[in-house]
Amino acid sequence: MAKIIVVTSGKGGVGKTTSSAAIGTGLALKGYKTAIIDFDIGLRNLDLIMGCERRVVYDFVNVINGEANLNQALIKDKRVDKLFILPASQTRDKDALTRDGVERVLNEMKESFDYIICDSPAGIEAGAMMALYFADEAIVATNPEVSSVRDSDRILGILQSKSKRAEQGLEPVKEHLLLTRYNPERVANGEMLSVEDVQDILAIDLLGVIPESKAVLNASNSGQPVVLDSESDAGQAYNDAINRLLGEIVDFRFLNVEKKGLLKRIFGG
């Protein structure tokens, strides 16, 4: 039976789609049949980051409405075996997602996938609520700044009260914290919250700390998940997070200011 994981946050621009793409790709690389669903109806972005925008023929809403079957809409990744993308519609609005329709599609996907990653839109509107409703686990992405953390705290409250698991009195949605765009130098200068600050506020288990990195932008622009860039700090940090998600104990990296060697201090960089 598949595990449904929502990647969510209260605030926009924290890296949910980047994280959904990286985590979904990483799980598939480890041999798990994985699908990533774009819940951001009207503002489709997942297909761009995954580099498959030209291959979109049918989308999530087409499947819900019976205008296409699931196999017609799923896009198989060309680089990673066992990885599939279900794109959002660019021409519909958020109300196109019905609870019955989403549940029907997820139940069909559960029969053949190990992991289903739900890439949630920001905030608490219909698409975001639908993305988290059926989740077994939630990855709450947040930047180390007060407004982002506060909005993530609100999302945690919704997960604990308005998910299907909460409504049915089942075991709660398992929550993970993913701290993105972390810059140790700015933390040291008091310009950013520290990992400990964020953990104190949100009080959920830390899954990963993704450093602020040009590799993330480069990967997005080239249509490839950053986890495939194994030489980059961000790619390594996402891989660490995926290993923790799978139950491994992995030390955290990229939390402290890098000490510059003599040549770097002289010549900069």
Do residues 128 and 14 touch, judged by C-beta distance below 8 A? Answer: no
Token readout for 218 is 């480069």
Contacts of 194 (CB under 8 A, 6+ apart): 144, 187
Question: Is position 98 annotated in a ligand binding site?
Answer: no
Question: Is position 17 annotated in a ligand binding site?
Answer: yes
Helix residue ranges per DSSP H, 15-98: 16-29, 46-49, 60-64, 70-73
Question: Is position 15 annotated in a ligand binding site?
Answer: yes
Question: Is position 12 annotated in a ligand binding site?
Answer: yes
116 has which bridge partners? 4, 35
Question: Is position 13 annotated in a ligand binding site?
Answer: yes
Question: Is position 18 annotated in a ligand binding site?
Answer: yes
For 76-126, give the secondary structure using H, E and C.
ECCCCCCEEEECCCCCCCHHHCCHHHHHHHHHHHHCCCCEEEEECCCCCCH
> How many C-beta neighbours within 10 Å does residue 199 have?
16
Question: Is position 164 annotated in a ligand binding site?
Answer: no
C-alpha to C-alpha distance for 32 and 116, rounded to whole angstroms: 10
Question: Is position 105 annotated in a ligand binding site?
Answer: no
Annotated binding site: 11-18
Q: Which residue positions form the known binding site for ATP?
A: 11-18
